[in-house]
Amino acid sequence: MQKDGFTSKIGFVLAAAGSAVGLGNIWRFPYLAAKHGGGIFLLTYLVLLLTFGYSLLIAENCIGRMTKRGPIGAYRKLCRGKRGFLGSVRIGGWINAFVPLVIVPYYCVIGGWVTKYVFAIGGNPIAFFAKDAVAIRADGSQASASAAYFADFISSTWEPLLYFLLFMTILVAVVAFGVEKGVERFNKILMPILFIMIIGICIYCMFLPNAQEGFRYYLMPDLSKFSYMTVVAAMGQLFFSLSIAMGIMITYGSYMRKQDDLVSSVNQVEFFDTSVAFLAGMMIIPAVVAFGGKQAAESAGVGLVFITMPQVFASFSGGQIVGIAFFILVLFAAATSAISLLETNVQTISQELLVSRRRSIVICVVEILAIGVITILGYSVLKHVHPLAFIAKYRSMDILDTLDFLSNSVLMPIAAIFTSILVVAVVGLEKISREIKQNTRWVREYSFQLCMCVVVIPCLLVVLLHATGLLN
Ligand code: PHE
């Protein structure tokens, strides 16, 4: 992220896409799609993307560009002089800024898992992960070798901790020494390679025996699998993946120049992010179904990419090299997203608590360490801790899932409700439209206004009530 503004439109698009494309697309999207019925999840996701996702993405960027501030400053500026309810909308800025603080620790935990897998694929004979290889787990149960390897890894205490520390240290060093631009430059080359690689793996997976059934599962919506939880999950994923409802896009918008075309930039970010997620699903879901049948897809969890992709790599010669390259590229995608998360937190803390940048980094590190370590222990020492056990449907949720759920399905809808109120009631749609259209044609203006006025807030409230278990 650049403090002094982007010097070109493509600079904005690359930076925003770098933040948006990350673990959300490659780790989170495929497992949620597999778990929530495949095609029906994909359809729900796409509908939400074109309505909510787009509206909030462009609104946040617009608010940022209008005010030239991050989330807290932007809300404060726009609510200035307003009284009563409209004045109190300014707390929305704080809620937006709080979300990345919840995400960054567990993002680093998953970043650690990806780091481990670069070594795991490189350091074991690739046949070890073959789909038919069976292993006896530490607790005596039997599982596919790949699944057992993952389960044993996350439930050991020290290894995940070590890789988490490694990922976090590199991340903090990048932010502390201000070399984000260098990483971004790298990414301009690496992300297209990742994209091409994913397409190549997709094509390979198409020809796996039984892949057809998997494609059908992923691409053909089965309405009987639809429930409110599909919407809750798709909505949370949308926020996470587009990096919206957490102040990040407001910050990016604030670096954008007035003369740049906001409409087409946002379209491009929306397109890139969704393409990567869609293709990641195409790459993983048919493979899971081919290897383990539909029930394996339906019972997918956070380990999906770590269990299935090694099995894919073990199924062709040269797979080990491709596998190492794949996890390295995913690591870079995760790193750029993590940088944007941490950078936002550092800026928020130093501006709002009036501390130096260095002190703010220290505060962030302490926070990431504290929550990250608890998250990791949630798979070993603290495995009986289920923070949301008081809500029946979340009785068995572990700590990582709880953080993920609270940020994506509870805090982000709340943050998005505030942003919608800010746009509709505090600033007014007219003014927002004028800012967006000032140097371009805007075809989706009507649908944006319709969404903002009548769709977004009621739907978000329903999602929130379902997510919190108040509605069933
Ligand atoms: N959008 C990123 C991803 O898909 C995650 C992220 C969330 C990045 C919030 C920055 C801010 O992985």
Going from the N-terminus, what domains does the chain have, and what CATH number goes with each? Answer: 9-468 (1.10.4160)
Q: What are phi and psi of 246, to 5 degrees?
A: -150, 25
Q: How much is the pLDDT for 408?
A: 94
- Probe target for ligand 1 pocket from 337, 364, 403, with the most ligand atoms within 8 Å of CB: 337
What is the model's pTM? 0.94
Ligand 1 atom nearest the C-alpha of 246 is: 9
Name the residue with the closest Cα to ligand 1, atom 7. 243
- Probe target for ligand 1 pocket from 32, 341, 403, 412, with the most ligand atoms within 8 Å of CB: 341
Q: How much is the pLDDT for 4?
A: 56
Long-range pairs, 459-464, Cβ under 8 A, ≥24: 459/52, 460/52, 460/235, 460/413, 460/416, 460/417, 460/420, 461/417, 462/228, 463/228, 463/231, 463/232, 463/235, 463/409, 463/413, 464/410, 464/413, 464/414, 464/417
235 alpha carbon – ligand 1 mean position (Å): 14
239 alpha carbon – ligand 1 mean position (Å): 9
Q: What CA–CA distance (Å, rounded) separates 105 from 313?
A: 29
367 alpha carbon – ligand 1 mean position (Å): 18
- Probe target for ligand 1 pocket from 99, 340, 404, 411, with the most ligand atoms within 8 Å of CB: 340
121 alpha carbon – ligand 1 mean position (Å): 25
Cα dihedral across residues 94, 99, 100, 106: positive or negative: positive
User: Splitting the chain (472 residues) into consecutive groups of 10 residues, what average pLDDT does each group show?
Assistant: 68 87 97 97 97 95 94 96 92 96 97 98 95 84 91 94 98 91 80 94 93 95 94 95 94 89 94 96 96 93 97 96 97 94 93 94 98 97 95 92 95 96 95 92 94 91 88 73
141 alpha carbon – ligand 1 mean position (Å): 35
337 alpha carbon – ligand 1 mean position (Å): 5
Structure tokens at 32: 């949620």
338 alpha carbon – ligand 1 mean position (Å): 7
Cα dihedral across residues 405, 408, 295, 154: positive or negative: negative
278 alpha carbon – ligand 1 mean position (Å): 16
Name the residue with the closest Cα to ligand 1, atom 8. 337
341 alpha carbon – ligand 1 mean position (Å): 7
Structure tokens at 342: 């941490």
Ligand 1 atom nearest the C-alpha of 273 is: 4
Q: What CA–CA distance (Å, rounded) separates 27 from 279?
A: 12
**Ligand 1 binding pocket, CB closer than 6 Å:** 19-20, 22-25, 100, 103, 240-241, 243, 246, 248, 337, 340-341
